[in-house]
């Protein structure tokens, strides 16, 4: 379309140039003055054509740049919204992980306490049953197994009576058998 318009305008410029040439030649200017006026008219017409086309193109470029700026602003706004959402998700995940870690830590502490209490109970029951077994065998000192401070073995005869308080002091009080 643009080439067709340029061809039609060029034909109009040539016609205008020929009209000016004929006017100057017929009014006594001669052929050389007519040719010079033809060339001058064509030059003037194409110069105006170039100025008008450049102005139209610069307006189109300005409009395109304005639309591109608007698109960039919309894109930046969307990126900021997405960044805010991602930041919120990361904070939520971190908070949730910290909360779960705290819950697991407290549960582990509770389980450790329960295991410790069960260990104390089992140890007390073991001591009770060992004392009962020793009394039936004739040994008065309770035997506590590996790591015990008592020297009394259920298979040997005891020389002292030991009373242990496993929950309170974890130590033995020995007194001579009497």
**What's the pTM value of the predicted model, to 2 decimals?**
0.41
**Dist. CA 39–CA 22, nearest whole Å:** 13
In a domain, 5, yes or no: no
Using an 8 Å Cβ cutoff, are 172 and 149 in contact?
A: yes
111: helix, strand or coil: helix
Mean pLDDT, the chain, whole residue set: 82
Whether 23 is in a domain gets the answer no
Structural domain including 160 reads 70-178
DSSP assignment, residue 7? H
pLDDT in tens, 122-133: 999 999 999 888
40-65 average pLDDT score: 92
Long-range contacts of 162-165 (CB under 8 A, 24+ apart): 164/127
| Position 118 in a domain | yes
**Structural domains of the chain, count:** 1
Per-residue model confidence as pLDDT tens digits over 26-38:
888 888 998 999 9
């Amino acid at each position: 379309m643009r080439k067709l318009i340029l061809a039609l305008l060029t034909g109009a410029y040539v016609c205008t140039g020929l009209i000016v040439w004929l006017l100057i030649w017929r009014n006594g200017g001669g052929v050389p003055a007519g040719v010079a006026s033809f060339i001058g008219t064509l030059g003037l017409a194409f110069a105006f054509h170039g100025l008008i086309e450049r102005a139209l193109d610069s307006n189109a470029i300005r409009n395109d740049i304005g639309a591109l700026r608007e698109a960039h602003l919309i894109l930046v706004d969307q990126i900021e919204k997405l960044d805010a959402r991602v930041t919120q998700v990361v904070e939520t995940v971190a908070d949730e992980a910290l909360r779960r870690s705290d819950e697991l830590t407290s549960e582990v502490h509770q389980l450790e306490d329960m295991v410790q209490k069960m260990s104390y109970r089992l140890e007390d029951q073991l001591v009770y049953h060992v004392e009962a077994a020793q009394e039936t065998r004739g040994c008065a000192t309770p035997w506590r197994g590996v790591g015990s401070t008592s020297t009394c073995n259920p298979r040997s005869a005891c020389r002292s009576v030991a009373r242990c308080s496993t929950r309170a002091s974890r130590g033995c009080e020995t007194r001579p058998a009497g």
